[in-house]
Amino acid sequence: MKALVVGGGGREHAIVRALRRSAHAPEVLCAPGNAGIAADAECLPGIAADDVEAIVAIATERRVDLVAVGPEMALVAGVVDALEQAGVPAFGPSAAAAELEGSKAFAKELMKEAGVPTAGYVLLRSREEAVEHLACASYPAVLKADGLAAGKGVILCATEAEARAAVDVFFTEQRFGATTVVLEEFLEGEELSLLALCDGGNVVPLAPAQDYKRIFDGDQGPNTGGMGSYSPVPGFEQADVEEIVDSVHRPIVAAMARRGRPFHGVLYAGLMIGAEGPKVLEFNARFGDPETQAVLPRLRSDLVDLLLAAREPGGLAGMSAEFDSDWAVTLVLASAGYPESSSSGDVIHGLAAAAELAEVTHAGTAARDGEIVTAGGRVLNVTALGASPAEARDRAYDAAGRISFEGMQIRTDIAARAVERVPS
């Protein structure tokens, strides 16, 4: 069997490795991949993740049996529709179903219709309308640009003045090109990422995870794509997970089916767990990054079987995803300047020594003159397993300590909360 993974980050590296552990023993291709993925799969560096035509062409030419898509851009661009039309089995939502991530306004309206708990909100359709609403909103408040914004489309505003500035940015800056902005109530609590596989009707939850979005320790500084993660999460046992899936994922999947946009793929709910219980912050239509790097190494079930089943309407009936009891902690090693900018071309040392202790997946790396160099904001992920959060965490930090490159940034408090809650 032959599998193709679309994307070239740490998430895709983790997916490649999980596919290779399958009993189907697939030959794995990755488009475009990166310097680290090249050790585990045949990379196709000339093919960008959102180049739908090129992906369909290569998948057809190479007779691929399963495509797994990582990034949202490719999904929203319709890569799964195009592949399936060409007769290539592809895991992920159609463009119509990926709108759950592609449009925050669509997601909010759907949650309202399906009775899914989320922050109160108003949709602002113009700057003038926004100014009116901002004058009577309570602060802090949250503003979100409607479209995909690579993690930059959410601004937490402490005052009306900050909110006005955010609205100006969203409505005027080309990269947002927003025609709608969501003004949302600020929620307090603890964040949880709960990803589930969906087949248009059935929902199979994956292990819960927590990620760390801010660049600095203590959740300070700007939001990033994610600086670390761990799984499972103390306090969220199987019964709690089922309860969340019943109140969030299942009603959404049912609502999507009613709208004629059946959701196949990963439905990722970003949740805030507060005094009133879980509320949805956002939906993603794909695997999370870096949650996937902590979740998939613990997966005991066959990923190929699960992904193929999710393509078929009702295919996941009677299936479940089983996980090891081990804890996993993932650290992100980022380059200087991230998240505002990133640096590249710096030689990375210590990769082999780190790999003796932990699983090292590559995000932004490139090969140059026989060495691995940095090539992006998030450079590497280090994932360690352990019988307790403390063991996994210590091992992850020991392994990361063996890696060095110019300007390397790493948070020192990843999974500290889990260690406190589960004394070893």
Chain residues in the site for ligand GLY (CB under 6 A): 211, 226, 284, 288-289, 291
Compute the least distance from the CB of residue 289 to ligand GLY, in Å.
4
Q: What are phi and psi of 107, to 5 degrees?
A: -60, -40
Choice between 202 and 210, CB closer to ligand GLY: 210
Strand partners, 90: 67
Residue 186 binds ligand AMP, judged by CB under 6 A: yes
Q: Smaller CB distance to ligand GLY: residue 288 or 339?
A: 288
Cβ proximity to ligand AMP, 160 vs 282, nearer residue = 282
Closer by beta carbon to ligand AMP, 144 or else 249: 144
Residue 292 beta carbon to ligand GLY: minimum distance, rounded to whole angstroms: 8
Distance CA 211, CA 228 (A): 6
Q: Which is nearer to ligand GLY, 8 or 288 (CB)?
A: 288
Task: Give CA 337 to chain center in angstroms.
Answer: 22
* Least distance in angstroms from the C-beta of 87 to ligand GLY: 30
Residues 198-237 that bind ligand AMP (CB under 6 A): 213, 223
Sheet with strand 141-145: strands edge to edge: 121-124, 181-185, 141-145, 154-157
> Which amino acid type is present at position 253?
V
Among 27, 160, 162, 191, binds ligand AMP (CB under 6 A): 191
**Nearer to ligand GLY (CB atom), residue 270 or residue 389:** 270
- Shortest distance in whole angstroms from residue 315 CB to ligand GLY: 25
Judged by CB under 6 A, how many residues of this single chain contact ligand AMP?
14
Pseudo-torsion of CA 103, 250, 235, 237, nearest 10°? Answer: -140
Spatial contact of 300 and 326, defined as CB atoms under 8 Å apart: no
Q: Is 156 exposed, middle or buried (0-12, 13-18, 19+ CB in 10 A)?
A: middle
Site residues (CB under 6 A) for ligand AMP, limited to 256-295: 270, 281-282
- Of 121, 76, 82, 128, the closest CA to residue 99 belongs to 76
Burial of residue 185, with CB atoms counted within 10 A of its CB: 0-12 exposed, 13-18 middle, 19 or more buried: middle
Residue 194 CB, nearest distance to ligand AMP (Å)? 13
Cβ distance to ligand GLY smaller for residue 291 or 302: 291
Partner that binds at residue 191, options ligand GLY, ligand AMP, none, CB closer than 5 to 8 Å by kind: ligand AMP
Which listed residue (142, 384, 392, 400) binds ligand AMP by CB under 6 A? 142
- The candidate with the shortest Cα–Cα distance to 104, out of 170, 190, 26, is 170
Q: Least distance from C-beta 378 to ligand GLY, angstroms? A: 11
Q: Does 154 bind ligand AMP (CB under 6 A)?
A: yes
Count the Cβ atoms, other than its own, within 10 Å of residue 220.
9
Beta bridge partners of 67: 4, 90
How is 385-411 classified by DSSP, letter by letter?
EESSHHHHHHHHHHHHHT-B-TT-B--
Looking at 79, 100, 124, 187, which residue binds ligand AMP (CB under 6 A)? 187
Binding site for ligand AMP (CB under 6 A): 119, 142, 144, 154, 184-187, 191, 213, 223, 270, 281-282
